[in-house]
Structure 1
Amino acid sequence: MSDQGSANGAAVGVLEPDAPSFVSYDPAGGGEVATFPQMTAERVRAVVDEARQAAAWWSALTWAEREQRLRKWAGVITRGHEELCELVHRENGKPRDDAFLEVFLAIEHIGWAAGHARKVLRPRRVGTGLLMANHAASLEYQPLGVVGVIGPWNYPVFTPIGSIAYALAAGNAVVFKPSEYTTAIGEWIVDAFAQADPDAPHQVLRLVTGTGPTGAALCESGVDKIAFTGSARTGRKVMAACAPSLTPVLMECGGKDAMIVAADADLGQAADAALWGAMSNAGQTCVGIERVYVVDTVKDEFVAELSAQIQKLALKPGDGPGAAYGPMTMPSQVDVVRRHIDDALAKGATAVVGGAGSVRAPYVEPTVLLDVPEESSAVREETFGPTITVKGVKDVEEAVTLANATAYGLGSSVYGRRGAMTVARRLRSGMTSVNAVIAFAGVPGLPFGGVGESGFGRIHGADGLREFTRPKAITRRRWSTPFEPTTFARNPKTMTILKKYAMARYGRKK
C-alpha cells in the first residue's frame, strides 16, 4: 500500500540493527521481498496485552458500528487489489488473476461476516418447558476477547481472513501471525484495516511476525482462542502449546481430497474440474483434488479427456503471464512431491502425463498418475503439488469406500447425475461439491472445516461466527409458585405433582 510504512511501525515494530530477523523471498526468482523482526515471546505478549485493551473498546461498539468499519476495510482492500495481487504474485508465486480470485473471495467473506453477525449472534429467547415455566430464558453469544490467528502461505489472503473477519465481526480483537513465507501479504492486510479507520483509538487487528517460535509464543501468550491453518504435524504442536493453559483451538489441517466420477458423469466437465482442483495454485490447496476414483466403464475415456485437456490448454507452470500456475511456494515441498511421484512409479503406477522428470525446482509440471496402489504415499499422504492419481473402480460403492479410506476428511467432489447427492452425503468429509470442485469455499454462508486429520472447528458462515464466541445462557425468575422443587422448604405435594406429570407425558406404554 502506498502508505504502508506508517502502519507498519505500530503493527510490527521498527526493525532495529542487530535484532533477530528473517526474510521472505520470491519463490520464483529467489529475490528478497522484505525483512521482518523475529518477535520474541515478550514482544508477542505485549502485543496481546495491547489487543486486549482494544477488544474492550471494540466489543462495546454496536453491531452497526463494527459492520461499518469492516465494510470500510473491504473497501480499502478492493481499491488496492492490484497492489495486493502483485504482492501475492511476488511473495506467494501464484498468477495475478488467481491472486485476484483469492482476494475477491476474501472480500466477499468480510462482507458476509459484517452483514450477518447481528442476526446470528444477537440475544434470543429460549423456551423453558413446563418445569421452569416461571422463568424466562435467553441465550447470547459473547466475544471471547483476543483471538490469535496463525495463517498459511498457500492462500495468504483468503484463508486467514476466513478467521480474522469472522472473529472481528463477533466482537473480538485479533492478533495475526502470517506464515514466514508470506509475511509481507499479512502486513498488507493488517495495514489495510488500519487505513480503513485511521482515527480509531485502538488497533483491533494486530500483527506479529516470526517463524515457529513466534507462533508458539502466540499460543502461550494468553489469547482466548487460536485459529490455526497448516499441516496436521504442526497442528499437534499448536495444540500442545495451548494445552497447559487450556486455550481452545480451531484446527484446519489439510486434506487428501477425492473426486468420484460416476458412469453417467459429464466426463469433459469432470476432467476440467479435476485439473483445476489438482493443478491450480501449483496443487498447493488444502481442498484441492488429489485422488480420482472413476467407474471402470468410463475410466479410459476420462483419462484420455484429462490428457487431451492438459495438451490443449498447454498447462505449464511459470512466472510469466501465460503460466497456468506458479512455483512451489515452500522450497521443501518440492522434495515431498518428488518423493510421492517416485514412490508411486516404483510401486507400479503409470505416468500418463508428466512423471519423475516433471519436478524441476521451483516448478513441477502437471503429473497424472494412473493405477497408483492405495498403500503408496501419493494416495495416503497429502502431496500438495500439481499431481493427481486416477484409479478405476467397479462401481460408485467401491469409490465411496476408497475415498473414505483415509485419515483426512476435508473436502470432496462427486461428478454424476442420478444419485450424486446421495453419494455426497456418504463421503466422510466436512464439505462436498457435486458436479464442481471447491465450490463450497465460495459460499460465505457455508461452514468450512473437516474431520479426522483435517482438523476440527469451522470458519465461514453462521458456524464460523459462533466459533469465535462463548454461548452465555441466562435465566430470570419471573414469579414464584407454591410448588418450587429446588428449595429445602419444598411443599410435599410438589414431588407428587412432578411424578404424575412425568408419567402422564413420558411413562405410558405405546
Structure 2
Amino acid sequence: MTSVFRDQHWIGGAFVPPDGSDRIEVENPYTEQVFGHVPAGTAEDVNRAVSAARDAFDGWAATSPAERGAALGRLHRSLTARADEIARIVGLELGTPLKIAKAVQAGLPLTVLAGYAELAAHPPVDEVIGNSLVVHEPVGVVGAITPWNYPLHQVVAKVGAALAAGNTVVLKPSELTPLTAYLLADAFAEAELPPGVFNLVTGVGSVVGSAIAGHPGIDMVSFTGSTATGRAISHAAADRIAKVSLELGGKSANVILEDADLVKAVKVGIGNAFLNSGQTCTAWTRMLVHRSHYDEAVELAAKTAAGYTVGDPFDPATRVGPLASAGQKDRVRGFIERATARLVAGGLDAPMPGTGHFVAPTVFADVDPDSELAQEEIFGPVLSIIAFDDDDEAVAIANNSKYGLAGAVWGSGERALSVARRLRTGAVDVNGGSFNPFAPFGGYKQSGIGRELGAYGLAEFQQVKAIQR
C-alpha cells in the first residue's frame, strides 16, 4: 500500500517545519493499517499562520476582481490536474468507493472552485440606496475548520469563497482525512498565489481548532461538523465578537406522497441515504411513505439495500465502503443495537469483509418518529421508514426534528412543491431535483448559521458598508 507522509505545514507561501515533533497517524479504514502521517500542530503553529494571513490580507483585499479571478483560475487548473490523485487519496483515507470519489469527492469541489473563480472576477455590483453607496468588503482573516466526510469539497466551499471575497485563510482539516488538504496546498504552490493568502495547519480539534476559534487575529470562523462542536466554537468566537458561519448536522426527511413514482422515490432515496456510507449531513435518513404504499415501499427498500455491495473502495463493484474510523463504526452499531423498530435489511449480523470499519446498509421499518433512531444523526448507512396518513402529518413528522438541513418530496408537481415549501429546512429536492453547487446551502434550527456555495456563500465572507454622499 502507498505510504503518504507529510511533515510540514503550509504557512506564508511555503512548506515549513511544525513547532513540535508530534505526528498524527492516518489510517486506511478498509485495511485498518496506518499509511501516512501529518504534523500534530500547536497553538504556536496557528499563531504563525494567522500572522502570515494577517500580513497578506491588505494586499489580497486590494487586488482587482480580474486579478483575483485569474489567480483562482490558476488554482483551479492546478487542482484539476490532480483530480485522479484526489480521488485516490480520498479512497485511501476515507474509504469512499473510487467511482463516487472521482465524481463527488474530486469533481464537486472542482466545479465549486470554478464558480468562485468566476464570482471573484465578476463580483456583485455596488448598490445605491438614496444617498448611500452600499459596498461589499472582505471580513479579514478567516479560520476554516472542516470535517472528514467530504475532505476537499468542504475545504473548497470555504476557502474558495473566502478568497474570492478578498479574505485570507487559515485552514484546519480533519485529523482523520488531512492528506487531501495537502493536495490543495500543492496546487497553491504551483498556482503561485501571494504568500500567506492560504495557510494550512494540521492537528487535533482540541488544540488547533480551539486555537483558531479563540484567536484574536481571526475575524471569522467558518466551521462544518457536529452540532456539539459548533456550539463550542460559537462560544469561543462570541467571547471576542467574531463572525461565525456554521454548517452542522442533519436528519433529513424523504417524503413520498401517494401519487409519487414509488419505485424511483424509494430507489433514489436509498442511494441518497447510503451515499458515502451514510456519512453525509444531508442524507435522507428518514423515509416517510403514505400508508397506502407503505408495505410496498418497505419491501422495495429492503430489496434495494440488500443489493448494495460492501467492500474494497477500489473494487468497481463496491457501492458502500467502510466508515471513516473504528470509533464511527462503533457509534453507528450502537444505534442499531439500541433500535426497537423492525429490522428489514442489514443489521449487526450481516456478513462483512474480514477487515475494515464496515456497517451493513441497514433499513428499519415501523420507526417511532420520536425515537432515537428517527431523531439523532447516526452518520452511517442506516435508514428509518415511517408511515403517514396525509400531507399535514407528513409535514409534521418531517419538521419534528432539531435539525433542518435538507429533505426531499416526491409527488405531483404543485402538490409536492407545496409540501416542500412547508418543510423547515435549508434545501429540498422535489422529484429528484439534482444538487445545485451554485445555490445557497445551509440549515435551519440546529443545522447551522449562514450559507455556503455560490453568490450566497461569497456574501457570507463579506461585510457590508454604507457610504453616505
- TM class by smaller structure: over 0.9
CA contact (8 A) 1:353 1:368 kept: yes
Q: 2:108 aligns with which of 102, 105, 108?
A: 105
Q: Which runs of 5+ in 1 are unaligned?
A: 129-135, 477-510
Q: Is 1:318 matched up with 2:320?
A: no
- Summarize the Cα distance change of 1:142–1:303 in structure 2 as closer, same or farther, 3 Å threshold: same
Give the structure 2 partner of residue 292 of structure 1.
287
TM-superposed CA distance for 1:341, in Å, is 1.4
Q: Which has the higher helix share?
A: 1
Give the structure 1 partner of residue 221 of structure 2.
226
TM-superposed CA distance for 1:119, in Å, is 4.3
Aligned pairs for 1:51-450 within 5 A: 51-102=53-104, 103-117=106-120, 119-126=122-129, 128=130, 136-197=131-192, 200-212=193-205, 213-221=207-215, 222-311=217-306, 313-321=307-315, 322-344=317-339, 347=340, 349-358=341-350, 362-418=357-413, 419-436=415-432, 439-440=434-435, 443-450=436-443
Q: Work out the CA distance in 2 between the residues paired with 1:211 and 1:192.
A: 24
TM-superposed CA distance for 1:21, in Å, is 2.2
- Summarize the Cα distance change of 1:422–1:49 in structure 2 as closer, same or farther, 3 Å threshold: same
Q: Work out the CA distance in 2 between the residues paired with 1:23 and 1:310.
A: 33
1:295-325 residue CA offsets vs partner (Å, 9 max, x unmatched): 01111222222233334x4432433412112
1:57-88 residue CA offsets vs partner (Å, 9 max, x unmatched): 21111101111111111111111111111011
Q: Which amino acid aligns with 1:425?
A: R
Q: Across the two proteins, how many residue pairs are aligned to each other?
A: 458
Give the structure 2 partner of residue 481 of structure 1.
none
Specify the SS of the correspondent of 1:121. Answer: coil
Give the structure 2 partner of residue 507 of structure 1.
none
Normalized against structure 2, the TM-score is what?
0.93
Q: Work out the CA distance in 2 between the residues paired with 1:12 and 1:254.
A: 34
CA contact (8 A) 1:144 1:172 kept: yes
CA contact (8 A) 1:315 1:366 kept: no
Compare 299-308 and 243-252 and name the one that shifted more: 299-308
1:167-193 residue CA offsets vs partner (Å, 9 max, x unmatched): 110011111100000111112112212
TM-superposed CA distance for 1:427, in Å, is 0.3
- Summarize the Cα distance change of 1:6–1:387 in structure 2 as closer, same or farther, 3 Å threshold: closer
Q: Which amino acid aligns with 1:394?
A: D
Q: Work out the CA distance in 2 between the residues paired with 1:111 and 1:228.
A: 22
Q: 2:32 aligns with which of 30, 33, 36?
A: 30
Q: Which amino acid aligns with 1:356?
A: L
Specify the SS of the correspondent of 1:25. Answer: strand
Task: Compute the RMSD of aligned alpha carbons.
Answer: 2.2
1:273-296 residue CA offsets vs partner (Å, 9 max, x unmatched): 111111110000000111011001
TM-superposed CA distance for 1:3, in Å, is 13
CA contact (8 A) 1:318 1:363 kept: no
Specify the SS of the correspondent of 2:349. Answer: helix
Percent identity over the alignment is 36
Q: Which amino acid aligns with 2:31?
A: G
CA contact (8 A) 2:6 2:38 kept: no
CA contact (8 A) 1:74 1:110 kept: yes
Q: Work out the CA distance in 1 between the residues paired with 2:368 and 2:134.
A: 52
TM-superposed CA distance for 1:201, in Å, is 4.3
CA contact (8 A) 2:14 2:195 kept: no
Q: Is 1:465 matched up with 2:463?
A: no
CA contact (8 A) 1:121 1:466 kept: no
TM-superposed CA distance for 1:51, in Å, is 0.8
Normalized against structure 1, the TM-score is what?
0.85
Q: Which runs of 5+ in 2 are unaligned?
A: none
